[in-house]
Amino acid sequence: MTSLSTPLVPRSRSRRPVRVRRSGGWFRRLVASPIVWLVVAANAGVVVWILFSSVKDTRSILESPWSLPSSLHLDNYARAWTSGDFAAATFNSVVLVVGTAAATVLLAAPAAYALTRLGGRGSSGLTAFFAVGLGVPSFAVFLPLYVVMSHLGLVNNLAGLWLLYTATSMPFAVFFLTAFFRSLPQEVEEAAALDGASPLYVFWRIVFPLARSGIITLLILNVIQHWGETFFALVFIQDRALQTLPLALYNFLQTMQYSGADWAGMFAGIALVVVPMIVAYAFLARQIIDGMTLGAGK
Amino acid sequence: MTATAEPLVERRTAPSSTLARRTRARGSSFERGRRRLFLPFVAPALALYLLFLVAPLAGTVFISFNKWAGSGPMEWVGIKNYTHIFQDPVFRQSFGNMLVLLLVGGFATFAISFVLTMLLRDMPGRKFARAVIFFPTIVPALVLSILWGFLFQADGLVNTILERLGMAHPPEWLASEHQFQMIVLGIVWTSTGFYTTILMASVDRIPPYLYEDCSLAGANAWQVFRHVTLPLSWDVVGVCAVLWTINSVKTFEFVLAMAGASGSLPPTNTWTSALFAYAAVYPSGGIPAYGASAASAVVILALVAVLVVGLRRLMRRDAVEF
């Protein structure tokens, strides 16, 4: 393809002053834009529809799914909250997710810093070794983990799940933060070192605060990931009192076969999971998008 | 994933070695302090990684050569688990489904993502459109699946519309022979935003004068795509293909929740390999087959490794400088 693009370059430079209409004419205006906006509207519509359905009763969800809610059925939320055990699940999920994100950053940031700045010859290989872990799916490791962790009493135990989440976060966290630390300028660290600051001081007081934006992005991504994590939770938690939000949703879905289809309660439960994400996304969309696509887009 | 790490790794050696040289020239205690810090900084993360991912991976390989019900004695059976699962119609079906998702779903996702990318290029409001299209990426797959199931169930949203449009007998989307196709469709819908965003970032780096030249030369949309967009974003497409391979193999929740309110595992003809690995350990009746589960996981991992290496080879081309 080089053959095509190289001759284009010099020629187009000379033509640059000529204004070319980039909007592409009728096709773009009449066909392309409507398609894109249709996709956008469908996605946004689904979210709005969930919120509406969460305050309707099941009969009107099924019979007139497109109608606006005629009255506010907040009892859906009350039902999900109490009989669906979403109260305990929300609490568990919040604690677990916050704890995991904090522990992940506290362990991965020093490691990533050491691999980018302190390391000798072996550290590039070690960084790549961490990155390989990104390709390991949960179902390829859960059996030995279950066996060993049940011997240690870490199964059906939120602390065990927290440990597991933190450990399995390491590959992405280290991979993400090494890329980030590498992009930071070194001059400040060197200046501090010349002023006699110890390496540990340089890391905690200078590099860590400098890397704030990357660390915050990592925290957000980590929270998002574990807010919806289902596989490990399903395997490692059996107690209803210990379940996380995805488990509560899954159990609610399963109990519907005995107690009748309570779609209203289901959508209230879904809203409990999704609304915090919508709120976070409204404020942090750019950071989330950039963070998740980092490494691929370069 | 070595794939994405490679360029980063190469880039890093230069600056740190200059710093090392500079500090070494000073011969300071600072440099010694730095080196002493390396191990305590890396060790905790590395230990967790080794204990919770690398060692269990080795454990899974070991279990795959044994007959084991999760407790009691293990019996070494060599490669019997592997020959067994390949004779098992359920595994073959799940393996086939996974391949369908990987190849057909992958092709569809990439085609749609590229179309959206081309349409979104210099469109007013693109940032907003991109943000909305990206949103499903962060929603838990379980939620998306429940929603998808509801949209297409017999009296669900889609059929209400079709009935109102005058279709007397709208199709039964979730009848078991269509169900897996609907799952693939749902995964394509929810993945498109992620890949569109990555492709958009790479297409944005293509200098606009190339497109101007195309429009002056009277190229149509396909020619522009074929001769400018695709070659200039080729390496990013390669990375996306690797990501898709890894992500599609992990597909679990989307299939699991499609069983809906039936209260058990979904019908076996919708299973993917991840579901097989899970279900072998929690059978609805009978003895858990840890060996079969482990063997299926190893097979999938081997497939992923081969595909990732193969993709890297296949997608490697002379980088187009621009």
CB-based contact, B44 to chain A, within 8 Å: yes
- Whether the pLDDT of residue A160 is over 60: the answer is yes
Domain count, chain A: 2
Closest chain B residue to the Cα of A50, Cα to Cα: B147
CB spacing of B147 vs A46 below 8 angstroms: yes
Same domain, A70 and A120: no
Same domain, A73 and A105: no
**CA angle at B135 for the pair B129 and B139, rounded to the nearest 5°:** 170
- Whether the pLDDT of residue A141 is over 90: the answer is yes
Handedness of CA A271, A276, A281, A287 (dihedral sign): negative
Closest-CA distance, A55 to chain B, in angstroms, reads 16
Tokens 């990732």 identify what position? B308
CB distance B266 to B275 below 8 Å: yes
Q: How far apart are CA B92 and CA B95, in angstroms?
A: 5
What are phi and psi for residue B67, nearest 5 degrees?
-100, 125
Question: Is A123 part of any domain?
Answer: yes
Long-range contacts of B156-163, Cβ-Cβ distance < 8 Å, separation of 24 or more: B156/A65, B157/A49, B157/A65, B157/A66, B160/A65, B160/A66
Q: How far apart are CA A285 and CA B253, in angstroms?
A: 24
Same domain, A99 and A220: yes
Same domain, A133 and A250: yes
Closest-CA distance, B108 to chain A, in angstroms, reads 15
CB distance A221 to A288 below 8 Å: yes
Q: How far apart are CA B11 and CA A181, in angstroms?
A: 12
Contacts of B16 in chain A (CB under 8 A): 116-117, 119
Contacts of A22 in chain B (CB under 8 A): 122, 208, 211-212, 215
Contacts of A254 in chain B (CB under 8 A): 261, 263
Q: Give me the CATH number covering residue A233.
A: 1.10.3720.10
CB distance A294 to A179 below 8 Å: yes
A240-272 pLDDT, tens digit per residue, is: 999 999 999 998 888 876 667 788 888 999 999
Chain centroid to Cα A290, Å, comes to 12
Closest-CA distance, A246 to chain B, in angstroms, reads 7
- Whether the pLDDT of residue A114 is over 50: the answer is yes
Report the residue from A32, A111, A200 with minimal CB separation from B45: A111
pLDDT-based confidence at residue A10 (cuts at 50, 70, 90): very low
CB spacing of A13 vs B41 below 8 angstroms: no
Closest-CA distance, B4 to chain A, in angstroms, reads 6
Which residues lie closer than 8 Å to A272 by C-beta, 6 or more apart?
A77, A80, A81, A86, A90, A245
Same domain, A114 and A223: yes
A212 in the Ramachandran plot: left (φ > 0), alpha (ψ -120 to 50) or beta?
Answer: alpha
Same domain, A46 and A135: no
Q: How far apart are CA B219 and CA B217, in angstroms?
A: 6
Closest chain A residue to the Cα of B126, Cα to Cα: A36
CB distance A105 to A219 below 8 Å: yes
Question: Is A290 part of any domain?
Answer: no
At position A8, the amino acid (one-letter code) is: L
Strand-pairing partners, residue B67, are B75
Report the residue from A62, A107, A258 with minimal CB separation from B155: A62
At position A136, the amino acid (one-letter code) is: V
CB spacing of A257 vs B263 below 8 angstroms: yes
At position B296, the amino acid (one-letter code) is: S
| CA quadruple A170, A171, A173, A174: dihedral, nearest 10 | 100
Same domain, A180 and A233: yes
Q: Of A102, A137, A143, nearest to A236 (Cα)?
A: A143
Same domain, A70 and A100: no
Q: Write down the domain spans for chain B.
A: 85-315
Same domain, A119 and A56: no
Same domain, A100 and A210: yes
Lowest mean pLDDT of A28-32, A216-220, B32-36, B127-131, name the range. Answer: A28-32
Token pair for B63: 């279990």
Contacts of A246 in chain B (CB under 8 A): 140, 142, 253
Token pair for B19: 């710093």
CB-based contact, B63 to chain A, within 8 Å: yes
Question: Is A296 part of any domain?
Answer: no
- Please list the pLDDT of chain B residue by residue as tens digits (322 residues): 334 444 434 444 444 445 555 544 455 677 777 788 888 999 999 999 999 999 999 999 999 999 988 778 888 988 999 999 999 999 999 999 999 999 999 999 999 999 888 888 777 888 899 899 999 999 999 999 888 888 887 667 777 777 777 777 777 777 777 888 989 999 998 899 999 999 988 888 888 888 888 889 888 888 888 888 888 888 889 889 999 999 999 999 899 887 655 557 888 888 999 999 999 998 877 788 999 999 999 999 999 999 999 988 888 766 666 6
Same domain, A104 and A147: yes
Q: Please report which helix (H) or strand (E) contains residue A118, including its range.
A: none
Residue B286's pLDDT is: 75
Closest-CA distance, B202 to chain A, in angstroms, reads 6
CB spacing of A20 vs B8 below 8 angstroms: no
What are phi and psi for residue B75, nearest 5 degrees?
-125, 120
Contacts of A181 in chain B (CB under 8 A): none
Mean pLDDT of A184-210: 86
Closest-CA distance, B176 to chain A, in angstroms, reads 18
Token pair for B12: 């890093």
What pTM value is reported for the model? Answer: 0.86
Q: Residue A59 sits in which domain range?
A: 22-78
Contacts of B281 in chain A (CB under 8 A): 143
Contacts of B34 in chain A (CB under 8 A): 117-118, 199
> What is the CB neighbour count within 10 angstroms for residue B107?
12
DSSP annotation string for B252-282: -HHHHGGGGGGSSPPPGGG--HHHHHHHTTS
Same domain, A104 and A28: no
Closest chain B residue to the Cα of A274, Cα to Cα: B139
Residue A28's pLDDT is: 65
State the fold for domain B85-315: MetI-like fold (1.10.3720)
A267-289: burial string, b at 16+ Cβ within 10 Å, e else? bbbbbbbbebbeebbeeebebbb
CB spacing of A137 vs B139 below 8 angstroms: no
CB spacing of A246 vs B253 below 8 angstroms: yes
CB-based contact, B27 to chain A, within 8 Å: no
A53-69 pLDDT, tens digit per residue, is: 888 888 888 777 777 88
Residue A168's alpha-carbon distances to A101, A121, A209, B2, B47, in angstroms, are 12, 26, 25, 17, 11
Q: How far apart are CA A273 and CA A269, in angstroms?
A: 7
Which runs of consecutive H residues, i.e. helices, occur in chain B?
2-26, 29-49, 55-63, 80-87, 89-100, 106-120, 126-134, 141-152, 157-164, 176-204, 208-217, 221-224, 230-232, 234-250, 253-256, 273-279, 290-315
